Amino acid sequence: MTSAANIDKLQCAQNSLSRVVLCGRHREHQSASMRLSNLHWLPVCKRIDFKLALTTYKILSTHQPAYLRSLLFPYETTRALRSSSQQPLNVPTVTTDFGRRAFSYCAPKIWNEITAAIRNAPTAQTFKLWLKTQLLIL
């Protein structure tokens, strides 16, 4: 993850580019979110979540690369719960903003927010399609 200031700069660039792609005038009343939706583009923060979730899916399904797989741990409980079948990941406790940007924190946090049906997608292509649909709706 990156800082909020950098995300804001990237979002401004994406909004400007959407205006150029759609040949819109600067004074048009169509909002940036409407232009992004018309182009089927995810906003920058959701695009980051999409890429992290896709990377996590590929790591969990192929166990590669090992150096990233070693950062992800399944959530284990002392008793059987209904949620244990959803295969959530353990989100480590962090106390700093720097720690919240680490892959070992971001990937499990985003993974656990995805619905179980999407997480259990049979292929990476299906996962991408379902996840992008979910992120566009939210």
Which residues lie below 8 Å from residue 90, measured CB to CB, with a gap of 6+?
73, 74, 75, 76, 108
| 52 shares a domain with 27 | no
Q: What is the pLDDT along the chain (138 residues), one digit of tens a residue?
A: 678 899 999 999 999 999 888 886 655 667 888 889 889 999 999 999 999 999 999 999 998 899 998 989 888 766 665 555 567 898 999 999 888 889 999 999 999 999 999 999 999 999 999 999 999 987
Q: Judge if 57 and 98 occupy the same domain.
A: yes
- Domain shared by 37 and 49, yes or no: no
* Whether 66 and 49 share a structural domain: yes
The range of the structural domain enclosing residue 65 comes to 42-137
Neighbours of 21 (CB within 10 A): 12
Q: What is the pTM of this model?
A: 0.84
Q: Which residues contact 2 (CB under 8 A, 6 or more apart)?
A: 48, 101
Same-domain status, 57 and 113: yes
